[in-house]
Amino acid sequence: MKITLVKSLIGYEKSQRETVKSLGLGKLNSWAIQKDTPDIRGKINTVPHLVRVEEIEA
């Protein structure tokens, strides 16, 4: 799946900033390809207001 950071991290808790960083995202509009695992899904569910998720074919 392709995960894109669509909202700035300014003003959000440190734990949410660390979650976004652990997904491989840094600056606004950066994106990362991650495998669909329960761990990654849990991280996405922690910060759904900050990221956009697109399913991609392998």
Per-residue pLDDT band at 57 (split at 50, 70, 90): confident
The percentage of the chain sitting over the pLDDT mark of 90, rounded to a whole number, equals 97
Tell whether the model's pLDDT for residue 58 goes beyond 70: no
Q: How high is the pLDDT of residue 3?
A: 98
CA distance readout (Å), 26 to 33, 57, 58: 13, 24, 24
Average pLDDT over every residue of 25-43: 96
> Residue 33 is which amino acid?
I
Count of CB atoms situated within 10 Å of the CB of 9: 20
* pLDDT tens sequence across 13-26: 999 999 999 999 99
User: What domains lie within the chain, and their CATH numbers?
Assistant: 2-54 (3.30.1390.20)
